[in-house]
Chains A and B, each alone.
Chain A
Amino acid sequence: MLRYLLEKEFKQFFRNRFLPRLVIALPLIALAVFPLVADMDVKNLSLSVIDSDHSRTSQQMQEKIASSGYFKESGNFADYKSALQSIEKGDADLLLEIPQQFEQSLNRENSGSLMIAANAVNGMQGGLGSAYLSAIIADYNRELIANTQGSAFLPVTAVEVRPLFRFNPNLSYRVFMIPALIAMMLVMICGFLPALNIVSEKENGTIEQVNVTPVSKFTFILSKLIPYWVIGFVVATLCIFTAFVFYGMFPTGSVLPLYIFIAVFVLGFSGFGLVVSNYAKNIQQAIFVMFFFVITLIFISGLYTPFKNMPAWMQMLGNASPLKYFIQVLRMTYLKSATFAEMQHLFYPLCALAVFFNSWAVLSYWKKSA
C-alpha cells in the first residue's frame, strides 16, 4: 500500500512547477549568497578624532591607530559636538577625544586621560570597537613605558599575550555561519513542505477519498514522511557541495556520522511539520504556525547567537528543540573534526525527539472527525 502512496507523492512533487526548483535553487542560492551577508565581523569602523592637544604624543598615537588597519579615519573635528554629529549622521562609528595638555600631563603627572565614545546602537559593534581602540592605545602606552624605561636600569616587567583561536584561526564569521545556514535550509524545506502537504489535501478535499479507504494512519504518515526524508538528503548534499565550491568549507570530521545525524534530524523535523499540518485548518494557518515555531526555534537553538548567553528559561526551552542538537553536530563536524563517539550525547535526544514528533503526527492524524 505504502508503495502506491509513495509513488503518488513523488509524482505530485515532480509534477509541481515550483517545488523541485525550490528544493534545488534555495540551498544553492542560500549557501552561495548568505555567507556573504551574514557577516558580523566588526570591521571597517570609522573613527572621528578630536585632537585638542596637537602634540607629538597625540600625533604618534593617531599614527599608531591608523597603522593598525582596524579603523579608517573619518576626519578631525574641532569639538565634541561636531564629532558627535558625524556619528549621528552615521559617518563615524567611534570618536576619540584627546584633551588639551594631554602630553603635558602625561609627562608631568604621569597620567593622561582620553575619551572614547562609540555608537552602541549595535551593542556588540560598539563594545568590540572600543575594546580594539583601547587595546591599540594600551599597546602604545607600553611602547611609551618601554621608551622611558628602556635606557634605565630597571627591568621591564612585561607579559606577552598570544591569543590562539582554535578551530577558526582567522576568526572568520563565515565559518560560524555556514553550519547555521545548512541547518536553516533543512528546517525551511523539510519543515515547511510537510506542514503544507496534509493541509492542502484537506483544502482540496482529496484527503476525503483517502480517509474512506482502509489505509492505516501509520502508512499514510509514513508516505508523507519518506519523500521529505529523501529531499532532506538532497538538500543537505547540495548545501555541503555549495559550501565547498564557493567557500572551500568541508567537514573536517567524517561525513558518515554527519549523514546519520541528518537522517534523524530531518525525520524529526518533518514529523513536526506534519503535526502542524494535521492540526491546521487551512494553508494560511499552517504557514503562520510554522513561521512562528521556526523563528522561535532558530533563536532558542543557538544558530546565530551563543546558546550559553541566553537566560536559563530560554535554554530549558532550547533543550526541546531538535535544532539545538543538530547545530552542535554541524559545528562539531565542520570545525572540530568530531567523531560519532564525541557526538553520541547529541544523538539520543535527537532520536527521542524524532520518535516523539512522529508518534504525535500519527496520533494526531484523524481519519474520522469527532
Chain B
Amino acid sequence: MSVIKVENLTKHFGNFIAVNNITFQVEKGEIFGFLGVNGAGKTTAMRMLCGLSQPTSGSGTVAGYDIASQSEDVKKHIGYMSQKFALYEDLKVWENMRLYAGIYGVPRSEIPAVIDRMLAALGFESEKNTLVKELPLGWKQKLAFSVSIIHRPEIVFLDEPTGGVDPAARRQFWEFIYKAADEGITVFVTTHYMDEAEYCHRVSIMVDGRIEALDTPARLKQQFSVASMDDVFTKLARKAEGGEQ
C-alpha cells in the first residue's frame, strides 16, 4: 500500500524551477531516502508533501489526503523535522514535549507518561528540566526527531536530520530511525551523506529538480556498475553537468 503518491509534482519560484515534474510512490513502513546535492530541490519537494508549500502543478496524496486541497488533514497524519532546528530554545526539554503532545491531541492525563517514555527512549532522563538551548547539537536533533513522532504519525518527514553532527552520533540517529520504522512509521528522509543512503530501503536521487534515479541501493549500484552509492551519485552528478553544457 502506498502512503505517498506523487504525480508530475512541480514547483516554480518565479522563473526558477525548483522541482520539475517528479513522480514517485512510497510504500508503508519503508525508509525512503531522498538524495541530492544542496539546492537540488529536496527540501522544496518535502515542504510540498508536508503542506507547507503550495505546488505549482501536479498532484500528490500523503496518507490518503490530497496535498494541495487537504493539507490540514495531511498534517494530522505526519510528523516533520526541519533542517533548521525548530523547537523552542527557551523552553525546557519536557515543555517542548508537552507542547507538541498537547497540540497533537494526546489526552492531558496521558501526557506525563508519554513524556517519561520519550525521555527514557532517548536516555534523556537527567535532561528533563534542561533548557533546549543548552543542549549540544546532536542531542537537539535526537530530541527534535522524537518530538516529530510524538503522536505516532503514519509518516515522518526528516529534512537533513543529521546535518552537522559527528559520524558516531549519525549512526546512533539512524538506530532511532530504524526503531521508528519497526514500529510501522514510514520514514521519508533527505540527506546528502551518501553512506546514509545505504541504510535506506529505497532511494531517489534528485538532480536539478528532477528525479534521476529511484531504486534500492543495491540495484542502483548494480545499474551503474559501481561499488558504492557515492559512486552512483558522482556518475549522476557528472551526467547532469554534461547535460548542462
Direct touch of chains A and B (CB < 8 A) = yes
Contacts A213-B104, A215-B103; A208 near B88 (Cβ below 8 A): no
- Do A368 and B88 have beta carbons less than 8 Å apart? no
- Do B103 and A208 have beta carbons less than 8 Å apart? no
Most buried by B among A213, A215, A370: A213
Instruction: Decide yes or no whether B209 CB sits under 8 A from chain A.
Output: no
Within the complex, which residue of B72, B76, B102 is in contact with A1, where a contact is CB–CB below 8 Å?
B102
Residues of chain B within 8 A (CB-CB) of A214 are 72-73, 75-76, 103-104
Instruction: Decide yes or no whether B85 CB sits under 8 A from chain A.
Output: yes
332-370 of chain A: CB within 8 A of chain B = 367-370
- Do A3 and B71 have beta carbons less than 8 Å apart? no
Instruction: Decide yes or no whether B90 CB sits under 8 A from chain A.
Output: yes
In the complex, the chain A residue whose C-beta lies closest to that of B105 is A1
Residues of chain B within 8 A (CB-CB) of A1 are 102-103, 105
- Do B72 and A4 have beta carbons less than 8 Å apart? no
Instruction: Decide yes or no whether B218 CB sits under 8 A from chain A.
Output: no
Within the complex, which residue of B54, B95, B102 is in contact with A368, where a contact is CB–CB below 8 Å?
B54
Q: Once the chains are docked, how many angstroms separate the CA of A361 from the CA of B82?
A: 25
CB distance from B197 to the nearest CB of A (A): 25
Q: Which of B33-41, B45-53, B187-195, B231-239 lies at the binding interface?
A: B45-53
Instruction: Decide yes or no whether B99 CB sits under 8 A from chain A.
Output: yes
Instruction: Decide yes or no whether A148 CB sits under 8 A from chain B.
Output: no
Within the complex, which residue of A4, A212, A216 is in contact with B51, where a contact is CB–CB below 8 Å?
A212
CB distance from B16 to the nearest CB of A (A): 14
- Do A8 and B91 have beta carbons less than 8 Å apart? yes
Contacts A4-B103, A212-B78, A368-B53; A206 near B95 (Cβ below 8 A): no
Q: Which 7 A-B pairs have the closest CB atoms?
A: A4-B102, A209-B86, A212-B80, A205-B84, A214-B75, A214-B76, A208-B82
Extra inter-chain contacts (14) besides given A3-B102, A209-B147, CB under 8 Å: A1-B103, A7-B99, A8-B88, A8-B91, A11-B91, A208-B52, A209-B80, A212-B50, A213-B75, A213-B104, A214-B75, A368-B51, A368-B53, A368-B54
